[in-house]
Each structure stands twice: as C-alpha cells, then as structure tokens.
Structure 1
Amino acid sequence: MPEPRRITDPEVLKGLSHPLRQRLYRLLTQLGPSTTTILAGHLDGADPGRVSYHLRELGKRGFIEEAPELARDRRERWWRVPEGSFSWSGADFRTPEGRAVADAAFAQTVQDQVERLEAFVARKAEWSSEWQGAATTTNTHLRLAPEELRGLSEELNAVLRKWAALGRRDPSLRPDEQPVDGREQVFLFLHAFPEKP
C-alpha cells in the first residue's frame, strides 16, 4: 500500500470542499468502481449531468480515476478511487486563500462525519445485535506533548491501514461482481487535538 499522498495545493483541496464531491468520493470508496448512473441512484435522484461534472472535477484533482476496462461500450464511463489514501493539514496552507480552502474542506468533513454518526444512531435498530455490539464509541483524555500526539497519530494510522487492507474491494470488479463475504462498510472517525480545561 503506497504512503498517503499529502495535499498542500489549495487548488487540489478545493475538490473536496464541496459536499456533493465528498459524498461521491465516499460512495466510490464504499461501492467500488461505479458509473454516473449508479452513483446518481444512491443520491436520491441527483441530476446525472451534475454528478458527472463533479466526478470530472474529482478526477482532475487526482481523488478518483477512470476505469475504462470496466466499460461495456464507448458511452459507459466508470470511475474508481485509486489505491492509497491522502491527507492534509491546515498548517500546510500559509496564504489566507489556502487557509480558507483548508478550513472549508475540514468543516465539510466534520459535518459529514457528525451526520453519518447521527444517521447510524437513528437507524441502529435496523442492524443485527451482532453489529450493534461490535460498534464502538470512545473518548479519552490524555496528557501529551506535540511530538507524542504525532507519534500516537502515526501508530493509529498504521493500525487503520492494516485493517483497511483486510476488506479492500477488488478495483477491477464492478460492484455486482464483488464477492459476498459478510463484511459491511465500517466508518471510523477520530479527532485528537489539544484543549484547555
């Protein structure tokens, strides 16, 4: 698995500051390779032209790529998330414009995370008791120096990469061709930051 790509260009990060683009990126990570039609079907009747435009914008910035080998004819256009992950830090954006883009992308990400947690809580009863028992929430108060927090983050990311590799979908297969293995999409989000009591 390649090292995460570090985004430091605000023009690239702009690709994720739009809520629909974040949703499309998430759907592609969850479903695997998909077409505009498949993705629009998961977005409550979203306009396919609008979906197609935002997919091209994500592609221009390297967040997704075309998968032409999956097309059955010339009109069919498949997209997928390339192997590997990406990261960014607001500290990498020094100009006011760059900071504004990083702040907007981060705010959109946090909003999406909270909405997804709220959706799970609202529909928790729809999941089996096995899944309900496996889901977890935790919070911890630590006393750390900046370099210790950085070390903790690196260790946690290494653990997440190991577990992510277990259930990775085959990017060369369409969603309906993926093996059924009892796995579901699991969303984990974690924020670690200093705070004053």
Structure 2
Amino acid sequence: MSDSVPQRRITDPRVLNGLAQPVRQRLYRLLCQFGPATGGTLAKRLGADPGQVSYHLRELARNGFVEDVPELARDRRERWWRASPGSTTWSFLDFTDPEARAVANLAKAQMVIDEFERLRHFEQSRETWSEDWRRAVMSSESFLRLTPGELASLTGELLAVLTRWSEATRDRPIEEDRSAVSVFFHAFPERDA
C-alpha cells in the first residue's frame, strides 16, 4: 500500500461491531463507493428513515469509519459525511475470545450477504447496462491447488493490483461513461465433502 493512503487495522471488537450492523455497513460502503453525501441523500438511497440514518452515521463516526465534512454544507441544516481516508482491514486471527469472534463472524457474514445481494441485483438488471459495460464485466471461478503460502502470495498480488487501481481512480468523478465498479473476490480452501 502506498504511504500516501493510510491503512487502519481493526483489532478492537467494539470498533468492528460498528460495521456488524447492516445499515451501517451499507452507509459506509455508499460513502466509499460514491463519495461524500448528506444524511438525507443516503436515507433516500437506502429507503430508510433520515433520523435512523443520522444515528448510524454518528455511530460510524464515533468508531472512525466516517467523518463530518462541514465545508461542503450550504447552510447550517445540511450535514455532509464522507468515508474516513484510507483503507480498513481486519482479520479473524485478531479476535480470539468467543464474544470478539462472534462480532467478527457477524460482520463478515453481513459483508458476504451484501456483496452477493449487489451481484444478484446487477445480474437482474444486466440488460439495462450498455453493451460496452456488459462486455467489460466478468465473473470467474478457478480451482487451484495451493499451499497456504502460495494462497497468501496470490491474494497479495491481487490486492496490490486492486490497490493500484483504487489509488489511481479514487478522485475521478462518476460521469456518463464512468461508473462506480465493485470488485470482490473470495479465495479459500475447500475439503471434499
């Protein structure tokens, strides 16, 4: 990761618990994906109560995931939020006691549910995208035979590519021919049932 972009590693289950809540996870993702927004705009995108969204944004801010951006407000009533700069990581290995592990399991389960719901939504709306977009998207499933070290090397290389693209494109505006693009992959060992 480049020195210009801070990386935050979460090891406190109370902080990670801030992302275990589905609405908070979606709010954080929207701010990462689309940039700064008001609570009202986010509430409309989620189809949620603005008061509830404001509460969840304050909780995300309390745990360092988002921050208030007062310089974007046009008046005193308007409150803008953005994702805190940099990336956030965490590992199951950092959550060893049962309560902490339960928080990590819940946060990860919610992330996977959200990822596949978004993928399902894209697949259901595929025909609404231009042919150029439909040609550009991909899904791939590969079956490799690796050691733990080789898997770590593979995922490190993939993450380096994604980080390079993220850093190169993060400040580009979303325009007619430029969209927010989600990339997620899962790499894990399996046993024959």
TM-score (norm 2): 0.92
**In structure 2, C-alpha distance between the alignment counterparts of 1:3 and 1:108, rounded to whole Å:** 25
Q: For residue 44 of structure 2, what is the amino acid of its counterpart?
A: G
Which residue is equivalent to 1:175? Answer: none
Asked if 1:115 corresponds to 2:117, the answer is yes
What's the counterpart of residue 185 of structure 2? 190
Q: Which runs of 5+ in 1 are unaligned?
A: 171-177
Aligned residue pairs: how many? 189
Aligned to 2:156: 154
Say whether the 8 Å CA contact 1:36–1:51 is kept in structure 2: yes
Letter matched to residue 29 of structure 1? C
Shift of the alpha carbon at 1:3? 4.8
Q: 2:140 aligns with which of 138, 141, 144?
A: 138
Query: How far off is 1:181 after superposition?
Result: 6.5
Q: Are the aligned partners of 1:32 and 1:169 in contact in 2 as well (CA < 8 Å)?
A: no
Identity in percent:
53
Listed one character per residue, the Cα deviations across residues 40-61 of structure 1 (whole Å, up to 9, x for unaligned) are 11112x1111000000011111
Which residue of structure 1 lines up, in the alignment, with residue 99 of structure 2? 97
Aligned to 2:168: 166
Q: Structure 1 166/183 Cα, relative in aligned 2: closer, same or farther at 3 Å?
A: farther
Query: Unmatched 5+ residue regions in structure 2?
Result: none
Partner of 2:28: 25
Kindly report the root-mean-square deviation, in angstroms, between the aligned alpha carbons of the 2 structures: 1.5
Query: Separation in 2 of the partners of 1:148 and 1:138?
Result: 19
Q: CA deviation at 1:180?
A: 3.2
> For residues 69-119 of structure 1, what are the alpha-carbon distances to aligned partners after superposition, in whole Å with 9 as ceiling and x for unaligned?
111222221110122111111111011000000000000000001111110
Select the structure with the greater relative contact order (CA < 8 A; seq sep ≥ 6): 1
Question: 2:108 maps to which residue?
Answer: 106
Displaced runs of 4+ in structure 1, greater than 6 A? none
The answer to whether the aligner puts 1:40 opposite 2:43 as a matched pair is: yes
Does the Cα contact within 8 Å between 1:5 and 1:85 map onto a contact in 2? yes
